[in-house]
Structure formats: C-alpha cells, structure tokens
C-alpha cells in the first residue's frame, strides 16, 4: 500500500477548492479535510471543518487536531467591495486568514510537507492596466499594494527553517461552478445569456470595445485542480511559482458567436454596460424563470458576482501568461478554452442551472 497523505483544503467550497477536493478524492492514498466558513457534509475519506479563519483563536481550536496533515492547499479568498484595483482594502483579511490557518496546522502536524498557495495574475498587475506580456514567473512585482505580496512574504519568512516547503500557483479567471461562491466567469456568461434570451435580446458582449478584441486567457477549475495535485507531489516544485492557465489564448470577438450558439441566440453588436448595475433588478425575473423552466433553486445572488464579470469584460488590454516553466517542470496538461466554454455552458443547461 502506498504512503497515506492527508490534504487540508482551505476554501474547500469555492470555485478552486471544491475541484481540488474532488480531484484528491479520486486519487488513491489521499484523505481530505475541507475548511470553510460554511458547513458541508462529510463523505468517505472527507470531513469538513467549519471555522472563521479571521479569528485566530477559532482557527487554532478548529484546526488544532490535524496532526496527520501532510499538505495544505490554500485557496481561500476574502473579497473587498469596490474595484479590483482597490487591493489595499483586503490585504489584512487575506493575509490574516493565511497566517491563522498555516500557523495552526504547522503547530498541529509534524507530518506537514508542502503548502500549495493559490495567488493569480494580479501578481503582475493584470488588474491595473496593460502589463508586460506574456507574463513570466520571474517578472518583477508591480507597485504595491497587493495582498499576494503580503501572503508570499509572510509564508516565505514563516517557512524558513521548517520541515516543509511551499509552491505558489498563479491562475487567471477561473471557470467552474461552485454554488454560493460566484467568483467564476462561466456562470456569469450563462446567467447573462439566459436573461438576455428571456428578454428577447441578442447576446451582446457587455464589455469595453477593446476587451472584445484583446487577447485573453482563462483557467478551467478542473484543470487547475490537476495542476494543484501535480504541484503538491512533484519534489522539484518546492519554493517555486508557476503560471497555471489553460495554455492557450483567445479573443472574445472570435469566441462570442460560439457562446451564442450554445443558447440558440443571435449575436448582437458589443455594448459596453455595467452588469453590476443592469443586473441589479433582475432577481424577480430570475425567480420567475426558475419556476417557469424548473431550474435548480440557486439563489440569484449566489450564482454570479457581477462586479467580477465587469472586471473581466473591462480588460481592454492583452492578458497573457507564459506557461513554459510549468511544462519544463513536468505539468503538460492543456485545455482548449473555446471548447471548454461550450462544454461548461452546455452542462449548465443540461443540469438545469440555466434554461
């Protein structure tokens, strides 16, 4: 029998964490402890800890018995109100959650071997405007604030002299589905398309004209989970950072007709709108559609983060990461992003998340 490993997935119900949990449970030799503020049911080789990681005492108490933990996958996120560029507002909570979680598990488990920290391409200033592309892991940091920097710097210092190491993964615009944690682009497109169709409108790109034609990239959540498992067990990954995307690039203007076809809709001319503002009054319509089409009863506010969609569709500059380093270190998986969107949106319809 192979060596037994126990993963602690912080943010286990999110659009990253839930896919990491599912991936690990398909792998022999792993047991998983999920951690989040929301409760979840136990399952074979899985138990869930419900704790507020902003409370250091609660974190120490809730995670203090994890004496067999060998790996931490840190994918928690505390959003702040306002624009994506307003990073100063969420430095403290996102740093403190990491500090409280890792400190507690480090104290509890002498078996700990690696921490996988999830950051992202905002490390390069992708949220601030045009930046050097394709972005490489060795590129210098942009001018702070950026809570990724605080997380990395704290973890680097805390890890020094420890028996374990850590690896940092930088995805871009996760695409998956995690009810209750709407920070994913795919459900935003699906709900926007469904509402547009119900109103008798064509599918119009809702962002800036420059965003429609610029180069963009995404990361499928299931693909990222494969990368997280690889990063956790590949010895060479220790103390390294890796860009993790689907491995390709696209322009929305070429993809948009294919998305419209999934919903049997005509394509309209792009129209720069604020989805946050235009979708604010659509909850009654969504409730009516849920009953009319017998959709799964997900609350409107838990399906989509419209400010996140506005951010993505407002990037009128190229967003490109170089994934050469991950391939050189042994991760060769790729995903066709256009096919991924068609597949995911079709699945949302099949599973009655949208009509």
Task: Give the pLDDT confidence of 216-235 residue by residue, as tens digits.
Answer: 999 999 999 999 999 999 99
Distance CA 106, CA 67 (A): 9
Residue 342 clears pLDDT 90, i.e. is over it: yes
pLDDT at 82: 56
Confidence of residue 86 (pLDDT cuts 50, 70, 90): low
pLDDT value, residue 85: 46
Here the tokens at position 335 are 């995903």
pLDDT at position 53? 97
| pLDDT tens string 264-318 | 999 999 999 999 999 999 999 999 999 999 999 999 988 999 999 999 999 999 9
Q: In which band, very low, low, confident or very high, does the pLDDT at 88 lie, cut at 50, 70 and 90?
A: low
Do domains 5-173+218-243 and 174-216+249-350 share one topology? The answer is: yes
How far is 58 from 50, CA to CA, in rounded Å?
Answer: 10
Kindly state the tokens that stand for 154.
């704290």
Average pLDDT, the chain: 95
Res 192: pLDDT: 98
CA distance linking residue 10 with residue 305, whole number of Å: 21
Q: What ranges make up the beta strands (E) of the chain?
A: 5-10, 30-36, 46-50, 71-74, 114-118, 165-170, 174-175, 215-216, 219-220, 241-243, 250-251
What local confidence, expressed as pLDDT, does residue 173 receive?
96
Fold (topology level) of 174-216+249-350: Rossmann fold (3.40.50)
Residue 254 pLDDT > 80: yes
Q: Which CATH superfamily is domain 5-173+218-243 in?
A: NAD(P)-binding Rossmann-like Domain (3.40.50.720)
**SS3 state of residue 26:** coil
Q: Using CA atoms, how far apart are residues 66 and 216, in angstroms rounded to an integer? A: 40
Q: What ranges do the domains of the chain cover?
A: 5-173+218-243, 174-216+249-350
Considering only 35-49, 83-97, 133-147, 157-171, which range has the smallest mean pLDDT?
83-97
Distance from C-alpha of 213 to C-alpha of 225, rounded to nearest angstrom: 29
What is the pLDDT at residue 1?
Answer: 45
Structure tokens at 274: 């604020």
Instruction: State the pLDDT confidence band at 167, using cuts at 50, 70 and 90.
Output: very high
337-350 helix and 185-198 helix, angle to the nearest 10 degrees: 60
Q: Out of 51-60, 244-253, 294-303, 315-324, which region has the weakest mean confidence (pLDDT)?
A: 294-303
Q: Identify the pLDDT of residue 330.
A: 98
Task: Return the closest-CA partner of residue 340 out of 179, 181, 198, 173.
Answer: 173
Mean pLDDT across 68-91: 79
Instruction: Quote the strand ranges of 135-218, DSSP E.
Output: 165-170, 174-175, 215-216
Closest CA to 137 of 290, 338, 326, 276: 326
CA distance 354 to 187: 9
Measure Cα distances from 315 to 113, 128, 335 in Å: 38, 9, 22
Instruction: Enter the pTM of the model.
Output: 0.95
Between CA 105 and CA 70 the distance in angstroms is: 10
Q: Tell which phi-psi region holds residue 12, choosing left (phi > 0), alpha (psi between -120 and 50) or beta.
A: alpha
| Tokens matching residue 301 | 């506010």
**Confidence band, pLDDT 50/70/90 cuts, at residue 182:** low
**Out of 41-55, 69-83, 92-106, least confident range:** 69-83
Give the range among 153-157, 260-264, 302-306, 319-323 with minimum mean pLDDT.
Answer: 302-306
Q: Which of 215, 219, 235 is nearest to 333 (CA)?
A: 219
Distance in angstroms (rounded) separating the CA atoms of residues 294 and 213: 36
């Amino acid at each position: 029998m192979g060596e037994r490993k126990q993963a602690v997935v912080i943010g286990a119900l999110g659009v990253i964490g839930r896919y990491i949990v599912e991936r690990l449970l398909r792998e022999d030799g792993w047991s998983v402890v999920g951690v989040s503020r929301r409760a979840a049911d136990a399952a074979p080789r899985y138990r869930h800890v419900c704790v507020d990681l902003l409370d250091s005492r609660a974190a120490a108490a809730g995670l203090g018995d994890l004496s067999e933990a060998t790996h931490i996958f840190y994918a928690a996120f505390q959003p702040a109100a306002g624009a994506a560029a307003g990073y100063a507002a969420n430095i403290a909570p996102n740093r403190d959650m990491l500090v409280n979680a890792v400190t507690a598990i480090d104290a509890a488990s002498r078996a700990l071997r690696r921490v996988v920290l999830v950051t992202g391409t905002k490390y390069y200033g992708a949220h601030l405007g045009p930046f050097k592309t394709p972005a490489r892991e060795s590129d210098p940091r942009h001018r702070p604030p950026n809570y990724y920097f605080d997380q990395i710097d704290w973890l680097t210092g805390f890890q020094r002299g420890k028996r374990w190491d850590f690896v940092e993964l930088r995805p871009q615009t996760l695409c998956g589905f995690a009810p209750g944690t709407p920070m994913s682009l795919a459900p935003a497109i699906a709900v926007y398309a469904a509402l547009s169709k119900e109103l008798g409108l064509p599918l119009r790109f809702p962002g800036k004209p420059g965003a429609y034609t610029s180069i963009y990239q995404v990361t499928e959540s299931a693909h990222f989970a494969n990368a997280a498992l690889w990063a956790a067990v590949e010895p060479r990954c220790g103390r390294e950072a890796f860009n993790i995307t689907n491995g390709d690039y696209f322009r929305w203007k070429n993809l948009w007709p294919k998305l419209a076809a999934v919903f049997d809709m005509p394509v309209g001319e792009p129209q720069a709108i604020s989805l946050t503002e235009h979708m604010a009054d659509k909850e009654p319509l969504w409730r009516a559609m849920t009953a009319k089409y017998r959709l799964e009863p997900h609350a409107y506010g838990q399906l989509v983060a419209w400010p996140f969609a506005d951010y993505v569709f407002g990037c009128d500059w190229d967003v490109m990461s170089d994934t050469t380093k991950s391939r050189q270190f042994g991760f060769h998986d790729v995903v066709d992003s256009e096919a991924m969107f068609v597949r995911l949106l079709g699945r949302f319809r099949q599973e009655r998340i949208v009509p």
